[in-house]
A and B are shown apart, each in its own frame.
Chain A
């Protein structure tokens, strides 16, 4: 009997060994896969178990957290939600994160190893730190000015500090309150479907995620290319351009809205916005030269992040001469985000040196210790300093004696360029009103701000839509706020 008892005992031992092997299989070898199963709620529970770090504007948080006592405890709250939505994005238990909430999620949710007291601390403890704060470069007064200026209209504003690349304002209207997407439940899903169904697309970040034909504002890029490649040596000399201009290789004539464009100089062509001269110059520069300059300004860059991803602005690289002519005045397939056109203005204002745009100034722990500082970085040098100086003069002329007079500010040097972009099949859509500009206080050695404004006002009378009329006053308000900040 003893022998059989021992065998039965061995059988029981076998059962136990099977359990242990199976436990090791589940808990060690299959654990990662099980943890990552989308139906496993643990990740979300841990994630929302502590308050999220804040996003700061001007030293004050524009976000908050509230405890709900639900399974996913902490929900995001927003101060001035619609105003800062294009900056913060939303952080939702149901719909995930966007924009800064997404790009800086590791910091805000406390998993970023930068926040840990020691390297590999989080990995070792399998824990997380209290959420860190993200300090933005946004100026509240400028953001407010841009938002007020766009009130009631569809459009966007992007403002940059030309000498650092810091994003000072980023506005898109109509906007939405991201707080309505925080949490779970019917209210959140209802808000989500209403926002998505709205024809005015309030969740679209028009400042960095929407591209528009830039229209005449693109002429600054063409002018820079013309001066740098030597297609124009004297900006004030007459160019050999007929008006109207027949697009090369076609019988299509290109008209001007402005008068006095026949054989006009580059400076005059910029001041009154001559299509014929700039289209002709684009062809003179040639495809390669135009593409190279456009790229240096940031066109065709699909990897630009501020750190939220920026939509790619387009300048075609394979075109016939007539297409190149149209592209050189910001039509055909040329498209740009408002941020892209603010970069164009800022490069001119900053003497030809384009700084990399960035929205985050620094990242701190929840106690305020800085763990990451974003410095100013050069993006490209799209033109020679001498070219920049000439373009500055031309853009000042636009404001002082040209189409951009609505942007003039007493006691400051302001340069600008208007644009009215045709779009749609046979240009049937209502045109977009553009204005790009920069401002420099009279007593300052460096420019205060570069702004791009786009207004896509579907309700306006077609004749009323022009960069100078609709967009320039908004740009002026933003620039005035920037100059006031600088003092």
Chain B
């Protein structure tokens, strides 16, 4: 700091709200989606789809609704969160519509649009109704109870494609595990925030590991084991991996104990090995991952993972262009678990990198809100929600690209799946609320001009 500025009177502190930036980015996101939609039609049928204006208007209206809610109820929220969500959701609709062209009898895009609308409606409701995130702390035990119920209920419903993770009522079906992950994050955040000192500073030391006291750690480990156990029973390995990672990250952030990561990884390795060796459904996934082309050598033609790898390879650096690929060859689950393969084939490594960076920005902004927040619950919740996104992207993207064994999960916002889209919109709504609180100026500090110094103090 130079002498001149030091001598100057403290400037009027008016933290920027950046709502105009958000609006501009939203317009950009909607336009990119509309252009993508038109490009699919031009490539595939030689004409712009007749309902392109309707698609643009619909997506624009959803974006505007969400923007208005944020502008009036969360004016200090991070301006990047909403545009990224709209762009990913719009891109997902384009990709699903593109795959619908190959399956005339199975149209998924209209349903996805309905779910997206519901998602944005819930987003708006959360932003409008939840004025302070700390309210959620009160409902921690209600959350965990609801989460467990949601997780257990699918056991009583028939399995769909090998996994018992669906609830079907009438024509509607949804995955309760998707909602459970938010509830569980809320519970973890609340419990860890309340007990972090006890977890960090009490307990016995075994070799180099400082283990926390059992009465503090017990309940949360029990809840966690129960959730993961139920998911393993339901063969939803992706979500159990997600819950596992979420728990380890939040525990680490709350306590700062590196030892927990070691213990966690060890447990994960043992668990993964046992399940991967003895559970036939998972075992076949692991075999597929080790040798994606085994079914070709056996004369049964390429399996899903092989087809997915073919799709990515066909995309190369620049991609075949929207509507010009053949990722429908993946067949079943092309629109849901394997949607990224279509992105990889038609948008290439460049497009894929852009999509990954969008997710990275979303996660980074969640973490940033966590850093700026002052209450431990808010921090842990923000980090938990951001980590859910990061882990989910890693697990499913790594799975369809042969980096890790495949586990059925939805690419956030992109993939076909109602419960997934709705859940992700709620996650973004919560991040909006958290970032609004994080960036909102505190009157007492603004007046004295010691915001920076105070935050420095808090962050120790």
Contact = CB atoms under 8 A, between A and B. Distances in A.
Contact of B302 (A5, A8, A40): A40
Given A12-B387, A19-B393, A23-B349, A35 B314 contact: yes
A15 interface: yes
Nearest to B384: A8
Interface string A20-45: 10111011101111110111111001
Given A3-B256, A8-B249, A34-B310, A39 B398 contact: no
A386 interface: no
13 contacts: A1-B376, A5-B253, A7-B252, A8-B253, A9-B367, A11-B249, A20-B353, A23-B349, A27-B317, A27-B348, A37-B296, A41-B326, A126-B320
A30 B312 CA distance: 10
Nearest to B349: A27
A5 B367 contact: yes
A45 to B, nearest CB: 5
B401 A19 contact: yes
A22 B403 contact: yes
Contact of A5 (B320, B371, B460): B371
A2 interface: yes
B356 interface: yes
A34 B309 contact: yes
Contact of A1 (B253, B352, B353): B253
B459 A39 contact: no
A319 interface: no
Nearest to A18: B403
Interface stretch (B219-227, B358-366, B413-421): B358-366
Contact of A42 (B310, B352, B370, B383): B310
Given A1-B253, A16-B394, A42-B326, A23 B301 contact: no
Interface string A243-286: 00000000000000000000000000000000000000000000
Given A27-B317, A39-B293, A12 B312 contact: no
B391 interface: yes
Contacts of B348: 27
Contacts of B293: 37, 39
Contacts of B441: none
Interface core residue of A9, A18, A126 (most chain B CB under 10 Å) = A9
B265 to A, nearest CB: 12
Contacts of B329: 41-42
A31 B459 CA distance: 47
A28 B253 CA distance: 37
A1 B251 CA distance: 11
Given A5-B370, A9-B367, 16 more contacts: A3-B256, A5-B371, A7-B252, A8-B249, A12-B360, A12-B367, A12-B390, A19-B393, A19-B401, A23-B344, A26-B344, A27-B348, A30-B309, A31-B316, A39-B302, A41-B326
B315 interface: yes
Given A5-B367, A23-B401, A13 B349 contact: no
Nearest to B459: A2
Contact of B356 (A7, A20, A32): A20
A38 B297 CA distance: 10
Q: At the interface, is chain A mostly helix, strand, loop or mixed?
A: helix
Interface core residue of A8, A13, A16, A24 (most chain B CB under 10 Å) = A8
Contacts of A7: 252
A57 B364 CA distance: 67
A27 B402 contact: no
Contact of A12 (B301, B349, B352, B386): B386
B433 interface: no
A13 B390 CA distance: 9
Contacts of A35: 310, 313-314
Q: At the interface, is chain B mostly helix, strand, loop or mixed?
A: helix
B241 interface: no
B397 interface: yes
B359 A16 contact: yes
A369 to B, nearest CB: 25
Contacts of A31: 312-314, 316
B306 interface: yes
Interface residues of A, number: 37
Contacts of A3: 256
Given A23-B344, A28-B317, A8 B394 contact: no
Contacts of A126: 316, 320
A1 B378 CA distance: 12
Contact of B326 (A6, A15, A45): A45
A16 B312 CA distance: 17
A40 B312 CA distance: 12
A31 B313 CA distance: 4
A382 to B, nearest CB: 52
A191 B352 CA distance: 45
B235 interface: no
B379 interface: yes
Interface core residue of B312, B313, B397 (most chain A CB under 10 Å) = B313
A28 B367 CA distance: 32
B371 A12 contact: no
Contacts of A12: 360, 363, 367, 386-387, 390
B403 A42 contact: no
B349 A39 contact: no
A30 B367 CA distance: 34
A117 B301 CA distance: 38
B371 A26 contact: no
A8 B367 contact: yes
Contacts of A11: 249
A31 B302 CA distance: 16
B313 A26 contact: yes
Nearest to A23: B352
A37 to B, nearest CB: 7
Nearest to A24: B349
A6 B329 CA distance: 42
A31 B314 CA distance: 7
Interface string B301-325: 1100010011011111100100000
A315 to B, nearest CB: 45
Interface in A341-394: none
A16 B356 contact: yes
A19 B398 contact: yes
Query: Lowest 3 A-B CB distances belong to which pairs?
Result: A34-B313, A12-B390, A31-B313
A104 to B, nearest CB: 26
B394 A26 contact: no
Given A5-B253, A27-B315, A31-B316, A13 B360 contact: yes
A16 B390 contact: yes
Contacts of B312: 23, 26-27, 31, 34
A42 B370 CA distance: 46
A468 B460 CA distance: 111
Contacts of A18: 394, 398, 403
B401 A22 contact: yes
Interface core residue of B317, B387, B390 (most chain A CB under 10 Å) = B390
A32 B459 CA distance: 51
Interface string B182-201: 00000000000000000000
Given A8-B249, A31-B313, A1 B363 contact: no
A49 to B, nearest CB: 10
Nearest to A32: B313
Nearest to B364: A9
A40 B386 CA distance: 37
Contacts of B353: 20, 23
A33 B296 CA distance: 14
A12 B391 CA distance: 8
A8 B252 contact: yes
A243 B14 CA distance: 124
A28 to B, nearest CB: 6
Nearest to B306: A39
B310 A40 contact: yes
A244 to B, nearest CB: 62
Contacts of B349: 23-24, 27-28
A5 B387 CA distance: 11
B406 to A, nearest CB: 13
